[in-house]
Structure 1
Amino acid sequence: MAVFAWAAGFYWIVAVALLVVSVAATIAQPWLAARRATRRDKPPISLVLPVKLLEEGFERTQESALTQQYPVYDVTVAAVEPDSPALAAMRALLARHANAPSRILRSTARFAVSPKVDNLYAPFMQATHDTIFMKDANVLLEADALAEHVRQLTDSVGLVCAIPYCARLENFAAQVEAAIINGPHARMLFLASALGQGHGVGKIMLFRRSDFLRAGGFDAISHTVGEDNALAKAMRRIGKRPVFSHRLVRQELGKRAFRDVYQRQLRWSVVRRNDELLSFLLEPICQAIPAVMAAIVAAPLAGLAPLAAAGATFILWFVLETLLSMAKGWQLSWVAPVVFVVREALMIAVWLNAWTTDRVIWARDSVNASAGAKPAPVPHEEG
């Protein structure tokens, strides 16, 4: 039992130290990343907007891409369906903002594990400009977002992503999802960025198509549902670094259903299990419940009652994350303690479930995350 107690004590020290360091990194990252943003020219950009579902806030977030304060950019909307409520809404938006050249492409490619990659084939291959900026439909861009993110795309950088934070939380399930994304997920990404590391996070992706093709193109990302992480790996293989921008991106949640929150977190966890096994194995150390359990086992070593050690660990974790959210200006509510408890239980459930399945949900479609991809189509086949 003494061995278990010492092992639990060591785990607790590492987990709490990681919590403190990652909170500090989250505060410092924008300043550190901004120092690396040394590009000053503004190349023409092809902005790609894949659309699938018409969700609450869709018009507001998509319109933010059409009102960028940037010298030269065009907009390509990509959709699988020939017509849909989301596509109809995009047509109306494009008509209202005719200042930026725009078009709609129907993606008919069917070769990738991820339907999103299929949808991106036509706009990526037919983009007018070499520099491509892709954003998800629920991301709200500031007016100077293109100009700011492109500052990170220096000669040594192959992919620029941005760390998302959740806003416009309109029900309890949305608050739980935000507590996950703004909590452990964000802290680890901010820490990686503060240490000069980058990863693929697909809320936005900025890259050069010439680098993308040299890194293998769609054959390098079609085998996984985690196309963002696969693209980051492909860029590394050709000597181009993935980086996180100094600007965050605002992900608008609105109202969420618990089932959708669970399925979305499960999809990301399965992707990490398949593509980043070490990261997946270490995920529990970023969560409060394993640290609370370690505190219970190790408490006698410090002469503490197990329940007192557990309570102190739980309160420390909650207080530090709450103070961090306040410092970043992220949305909080009076039910934050309950949200925190539910979040911790949900994350453990998702992590355990991810060991047992390859079937995930993407945009309401069931996808086998381990299915094999077909060869990518011949360039410019789609229209």
Structure 2
Amino acid sequence: MPDERGSVSFFLAIGGLVLYGVVWAVGLNGWRVAKTRYGRASAPSRLATLPATSVPGVTIIRPLCGLDSNLYNSLETVMRLDYPRYEVIFAFQDAGDEAIPVVRLLIKNYKHVDARIVINPAKVGVNPKVNNLMQPFHEAQYDLLWVIDSTVAVTEGTLGRMVDAWVSGAGGGTDVESRAAAYAPPTRGQVGLVHQVPIAVVYHRSWGSLIEQAFLNGNHAKMYLSINDVAVESCVVGKSNMYSRASIAGLRTPSPTLRASPDPPSGLAGFGPFMAEDNMIAMTLWRSGLKHAMTPDVALDFIGALSVRQYIDRRARWIRVRKVMVLPATLIEPFTECLLGSLMGSWALNRLFNIPQAPVFVASVLAWFLVDNSVRRSLSTNVRHIGPQTSTGTFALAWAARELLALPVWLYAMVGSTVMWRGHRYRILASGEAKRVD
């Protein structure tokens, strides 16, 4: 019996050490990408100086609902882009929405920009963002669509670099300008989605918002960059996504419920039942043979004043969504976090090589923090002028709180299936769809 227990612990240690090594390899690759791609000034787009008739037109859509944090400044960034041919649609579902006067003032202040408001209360599913996008998708002047969340700000050169990435992935030679002028929707094997890594900006400091910022700008960004660099699977957050309307229109709905109906919708309407519509759209494009590309820009997400409870609910919501979509990855998630991962790695090294566990654990946690801090500093290189900067000390405290909360939040999320979203309660179904239950 003792020998059997020893054999079991031996093989568990081997498995734990392998997983620990893989997690570190993924994390260090994300750190490398952050340092090399974002740690220096971005080159201007070659398309920004071309005549409007020589570049693809882009329709920017900003779905809006209510007064989000720093709303005017966030929306203003798309009115100041360094690109010769684009329009902006501000999309609402309610004619009495509080954000409409803010948008009207913005349009008045930037009369030279082709911008307008679209209001349509129609609903095709439980997802309010999908409902909000239906009319703009129909009215968009251009096939290339750039959908940006209401809380997100972008820098002036971002659009040009996104179109660069789009046409550079279209194949057929190296003449980007010629391919841009001869724009066509992508085909299998070409780039079908362009996005940026999101990082959080905090004006209204609270513990919840600072913890959220530490998560997004550190561990989340590191993993996001690494997974997209390796590009073995789709990994996209819908803060800032560009894709072709023609590509979306041709997608079959991934919803089992809608597929069972006599006349299932295709295109954008087919993603209405999902809470994580951004991930589902990106995954469906990926599985249809279209690649994803990233630019050396960040999507600046202005985080409001969150309480710690609100932070916990937000993280739990997305864990509950992920566990029905990618259960195996969600089950091992705690071992990819700093504290449990370091505990696993230090124990495995002690069991296999008799290396003292305590100093290895401390060294692992310290190294984890240093990598995350380096990542967040690299990502802020080109955007230090936007928003207040968080000191290393504040980041360290918020980072430590985030790591201490990681396992309790995961456990809390795994035992439930209901979430609060936009003031309503939903149950996440086994298919990944959301059903309103209040």
Q: Distance in 2 between matches of 1:94 and 1:367?
A: 36
Is 1:171 matched with 2:206? yes
Alignment pair present for 1:352 and 2:411: yes
In structure 1, stretches of 5+ residues that fail to align are 375-383
Q: Is the 8 Å Cα contact of residues 93 and 119 (structure 2) preserved in structure 1?
A: yes
Mapped contact 2:319–2:410 kept (Cα < 8 A): yes
* Contact 2:77 2:155 (8 Å CA) reproduced: yes
Q: Distance in 1 between matches of 2:239 and 2:314?
A: 14
Residue identity opposite 2:197 in structure 1: I
Counterpart mapping for 1:78-117 below 5 A: 78-117=91-130
1:189-338 → structure 2 map (5 Å cutoff): 189-196=224-231, 198-216=234-252, 217-298=267-348, 299-329=350-380, 331-338=390-397
The equivalent residue for 2:256 is none
Q: Secondary structure at the match of 2:145?
A: strand
SS in 2 for 1:246: strand
- How many residue pairs match? The answer is 371
Does structure 2 retain, via aligned residues, the 8 Å contact 1:199–1:243?
Answer: no
- Give the share of equivalent positions with the same residue, in percent: 22
Which one of 161, 164, 188 corresponds to residue 148 of structure 1?
Answer: 161
Indicate if the aligned counterparts of 1:11 and 1:294 stay in contact, CA closer than 8 A: no
CA gap of 1:8–1:185, structure 2 versus 1, over 3 A, is same
CA offsets 1:103-125 (integer angstroms, 9 cap, x no match): 22223222223121111111112
Partner of 2:402: 343
The residue that corresponds to 1:377 in the other structure is none
Relative contact order, higher structure (CA 8 A, sep 6+): 1
- Aligned residue for 1:44? 57
SS in 1 for 2:331: helix
Q: 1:54 Cα shift?
A: 0.8
Contact preservation (8 Å) 2:154, 2:298: no
Secondary structure at 2:96 match in 1: coil
Please name the residue that 1:159 is paired with: 193
Residue of structure 1 aligned with 2:30, choices 6, 22, 42: 22
**Alignment counterpart, residue 9 of structure 1, candidates 17, 22, 44:** 17
For residues 270 and 332 of structure 1, do their structure 2 counterparts lie closer, same or farther at Cα, with a shift above 3 Å needed? farther
Could you list the per-position Cα deviations for residues 324-359 of structure 1 after superposition, in whole angstroms to 9, with x for gaps in the alignment? 333443744313332222101322233223323332
Structure 1 moving runs of 4+ over 6 Å: 37-40
Q: What stretches of structure 2 of length at least 5 have no aligned partner?
A: 1-5, 171-189, 253-266, 382-389
Q: CA deviation at 1:215?
A: 1.8
1:223–1:373 Cα contact (<8 Å) kept: yes
For residues 373 and 352 of structure 1, the distance between their equivalents in structure 2, rounded to whole angstroms, comes to 21
Letter of the aligned partner of 2:364 in structure 1? T
* C-alpha deviation, 1:219, in angstroms: 4.2
Instruction: Report the TM-score when normalising by structure 1.
Output: 0.87
Question: Over aligned residue pairs, what C-alpha RMSD do you find?
Answer: 2.8
Contact 1:202/1:228 (8 A) holds in 2: yes
Taking a change above 3 Å as real, the CA distance of residues 146 and 120 of structure 1, as seen in their structure-2 partners, is same
Distance 1:269 1:107, change over 3 A: farther
